[in-house]
Amino acid sequence: MEEKIIIAGFGGQGVLSLGQFIAYAAIADGKEVTWLPSYGPEMRGGTSNCSVVVCDKEVASPIVARPDCLIAMNKPSLYKFVNNVKEGGTVIVNSSLIPDKVERTDVKAVYIDAQELALQAGNARTANIVVLGAYVKLSGLFQKELVAEMIKNKFANKPKVIPANLKALDLGFEAAGK
């Protein structure tokens, strides 16, 4: 098993953190993983993306040219990476910021209203966790409970934000259907 993922959006959307959560879950699940961030010089508002490779054996390269899954948090990221997704792959679209539909018919496109669901979870900053929940459901790589533990560990020093993040995970998981 090998899963290659590109997560892309604007700086400040939690793109890199989303990739880290996937990487931490993979490690906790006994898998091999690489996480490779890429971002512009801006702190917020600039482009940001990361590549994550999850594998049963040692990962040969962290470079992802043909992802199995693209998570696009903004419109420029969708158009930059959508044509690189493998045939039969998955594109998760943050429909809060991307009104466009994926034109490719050889990939599965899933539209998640991440911002609205984050507000329902009680914290607008949890949109990335909403999308993480959708990815967990669609990929089937990890149990949702494992990812919930990663969230609790990550925010152990900020216990007030844990309930909203766990709710965001659940809402994204449910929104992904299947």
Number of domains in the chain: 1
**Where do we find the tokens 């931490």?**
24
User: From first to last of its 178 residues, what are the pLDDT tens digits of the chain?
Assistant: 999 999 999 988 999 999 999 999 999 999 999 999 987 665 556 779 999 999 999 998 888 999 999 999 999 999 999 999 999 999 999 999 999 999 999 999 999 999 999 999 999 999 999 999 999 999 999 999 999 999 999 999 999 999 999 999 999 999 998 5
| Contacts (Cβ under 8 Å, ≥6 apart) of 27 | 33
Cα distance between residue 91 and residue 111, in whole Å? 8
Hey, what long-range contacts does 107-115 have (CB within 8 A, 24 or more apart)?
107/82, 108/138, 110/134, 110/138, 110/176, 110/177, 112/172, 112/175, 112/176, 113/175, 114/73, 114/172
Q: Helix or strand or coil: residue 100?
A: coil
CATH of the domain at 12: 3.40.920.10
Q: Residue 43: what pLDDT?
A: 57
Find the domain containing 70 and state its range: 2-175
Q: Residue 84: what pLDDT?
A: 97
3-state helix vs strand vs coil in the chain, percent to 5: 45, 20, 35
Cα distance between residue 59 and residue 159, in whole Å? 34
Cα distance between residue 164 and residue 9, in whole Å? 22
